[in-house]
A and B are shown apart, each in its own frame.
Chain A
Amino acid sequence: MNFLQIVDEAWSSLNANKMRSILTTLGIVIGVAAVIAMIAIGTGAQDTILNQISGIGTNLLFVFEGNEGSNGSTNVSPLTMQDANAIGEVFAAPHVELVAPVIQGSGIAKYSGETKSTQIFGVTPEFQNIRNYELTEGEFISEENINGRASVALLGVDVAEKLFGQTENLVGRTITIEGQPFRIIGVLAPKGGGQFGSHDDVILVPISTARSRLFTREQGKVDIIYIKAISAESVPQATSEVQEVLRKRHRTSLGEDDFTIYSQQDFLTLASSITNIFRIFLSGIAGISLLVGGIGIMNIMLVSVTERTKEIGLRKAIGAKKKDILIQFLAESSLLSMLGGILGIIFGWIISALIGSFAATQGIAFKPQVDLGAIFLATLFSTAVGLFFGIYPANKAANLEPVEALRHE
Chain B
Amino acid sequence: MKENVIKIKDLTKVYKMGEVEVHALRGVTLNIQQGEIISIMGPSGSGKSTLMNILGCLDRPTSGKYILDGKNVSNLDDDELANIRNQKVGFVFQNFNLLSRSTALANVELPLRYAGIHEDRMALAQKALENVGLGDRVNHKPPELSGGQQQRVAIARALINNPAIILADEPTGNLDSKSGKEIMELLLGLNKEYGTTLIIVTHDPKIAKFTARTVHIFDGKIKESRS
**A319, A323, A324: the one within 8 Å of B85 (CB):** A319
Chain A 1-43 near chain B by CB (<8 Å), digits 1 or 0: 1100100000011001000000000000000000000000000
Q: How far is the CA of A1 from the CA of B121 in the complex (A)?
A: 12
CB A370 to nearest CB in B, in angstroms, measures 38
Q: Which residues of A contact B83 (CB under 8 A)?
A: 319, 321
A residues 195-245 in Cβ contact with B at 8 Å:
none
Q: How far is the CB of A95 from chain B (nearest CB, A)?
A: 75
Most chain A CB neighbours (cut-off 10 Å) among B102, B114, B161: B114
Q: Please give me the residue from chain A that is nearest to B78 by CB atom.
A: A322
* Interface residue stretch chosen among A72-80, A165-173, A307-315: A307-315
Contact B114 A319 (CB under 8 A): yes
Q: Chain A nearest CB: distance from B82 CB in Å?
A: 5
B101 adjacent to A318 (CB under 8 Å): no
Q: Given A403-B53, A403-B58, A403-B59, are A319 and B115 neighbors across the interface (CB < 8 Å)?
A: yes
**Which residue of A is nearest B80, CB measured?**
A321
**A319 and B97 form a contact (CB under 8 A):** no
A317 to chain B: which residues have CB within 8 Å?
56, 58, 85, 91, 97
Are the CB atoms of A320 and B101 closer together than 8 Å?
A: no
Tell me the bound Cα distance from A406 to B96 in angstroms: 11
Contact of A1 among B56, B113, B157 (CB under 8 A): B113
Interface residues of B in 36-61 (CB under 8 A from A): 53, 56, 58-59
User: Within the assembled complex, what's the spacing in Å between the Cα atoms of A320 and B110?
Assistant: 9
For the complex, what is the distance from the CA of A16 to the CA of B110, rounded to whole Å?
A: 18
Contact partner, B99, options A1, A5, A311, A402, Cβ 8 Å: A311
Judged by a CB distance under 8 angstroms, whether A279 is at the interface is no
With an 8 A cutoff between CB atoms, is A110 at the interface? no
Contact of B82 among A13, A310, A319 (CB under 8 A): A319
Given A2-B118, A13-B101, A16-B101, CB of A318 within 8 Å of CB of B56: no
Contact with A along B137-173 (1 / 0, CB 8 A): 0000000000000000000010001000000000000
CB distance from A15 to the nearest CB of B (A): 8
In the bound assembly, the distance between CA atoms of A9 and B204 in angstroms comes to 38
A367 at the interface (CB under 8 A from B): no
Asked whether, in the complex, the Cβ of A316 is within 8 Å of the Cβ of B82, the reply is yes
Q: Which of B58, B59, B82, B118 contacts A320 (CB 8 A)?
A: B82
Residues of B close to A311: CB separation below 8 A: 99
B79 touches A314 (CB 8 A): no
Known: A12-B101, A310-B97. A321 touches B82 (CB 8 A): yes
A314, closest chain B residue (CB): B97
The answer for the CA separation of A361 and B145 in the assembled complex, in Å, is 62
* A320–B91 CB distance below 8 A: no
Residues in chain B near residue A314, CB distance under 8 A: 93, 97, 99
Main secondary structure of the interface of A (DSSP, over half): helix
Across the interface, B111 reaches (CB within 8 A) one of A5, A12, A318, A403, namely A318
By size class, the interface of chain A is 20 to 34
User: Are A319 and B58 interface neighbours, CB within 8 A?
Assistant: no
Q: Which of chain B's residues have a CB closer than 8 A to the CB of A16?
A: 101
Decide if A318 touches B79 in the complex (CB within 8 Å).
no
* B91 CB contacts on chain A under 8 angstroms: 317-318
Q: Is the CB of A319 within 8 A of B99?
A: no
In the bound complex, residues from chain B placing their C-beta under 8 Å from that of A316 are 58, 82, 85
Question: Closest CB of chain B to A170's CB: distance in Å?
Answer: 76
Residues on B with beta carbons closer than 8 Å to the beta carbon of A403: 53, 58-59
Specify which of B59, B82, B85 lies most central, judged by the most chain A CB atoms within 10 Å of its CB: B82
Report the separation of the CA atoms of residues A188 and B86 in the bound assembly, to the nearest whole angstrom.
Answer: 84
Q: Is B87 an interface residue, CB under 8 A from the partner?
A: yes
Given contacts A402-B58, A403-B59, A406-B58, contact A318 B53 (CB under 8 A): no
Which residues from B are CB-within-8-Å of A310?
97
Is there an interface contact between A5 and B59, defined as CB atoms closer than 8 Å? no
B88-129 interface mask toward A, CB cutoff 8 Å, 1 = contact, 0 = none?
Answer: 000101000101011000000011011110100000000000
Residues from chain B with a CB closer than 8 A to the CB of A5 are 113
> Considering only CB atoms, which chain A residue lies closest to B87 in the complex?
A319
Binary interface encoding of chain A residues 395-409 relative to chain B, with 1 for a CB under 8 A from any of its CBs, else 0: 000000011001000
Bitwise interface map of A from 116 to 144 toward B, beta carbon under 8 Å scored 1, else 0: 00000000000000000000000000000
Q: Report chain A residues within 8 Å CB of B86.
A: 318-319
State the Cβ distance, B106 to closest chain A Cβ, in Å.
Answer: 9
Q: Which residues of A contact B118 (CB under 8 A)?
A: 2
**B58 lies within 8 A of A321 (CB):** no
Structural contact, A406 and B97, CB atoms closer than 8 A: yes
Cβ distance A20 to chain B, nearest Cβ, rounded Å: 14
CB-CB under 8 A from B161, the residues of chain A are: 319
- How far does the Cβ of B147 sit from chain A's closest Cβ, in whole Å? 17
A319 to B83, CA, bound (A): 6
Q: Give B contacts to A, CB under 8 Å.
A: 53, 56, 58-59, 78-79, 82-83, 85-87, 91, 93, 97, 99, 101-102, 110-111, 113-116, 118, 157, 161
Contacts A/B (CB < 8 Å), 23 sampled: A1-B116, A12-B102, A13-B101, A16-B101, A310-B97, A314-B97, A314-B99, A316-B85, A317-B58, A317-B97, A318-B86, A318-B110, A318-B157, A319-B87, A319-B114, A321-B79, A321-B82, A321-B83, A322-B79, A402-B58, A402-B59, A403-B58, A406-B97
| Additional A-B contact list (20), CB under 8 Å, known A311-B99, A314-B93, A403-B59 | A2-B118, A12-B101, A12-B102, A16-B101, A310-B97, A314-B97, A316-B58, A317-B56, A317-B85, A318-B110, A318-B114, A319-B82, A319-B87, A319-B161, A321-B78, A321-B114, A322-B78, A403-B53, A406-B93, A406-B97
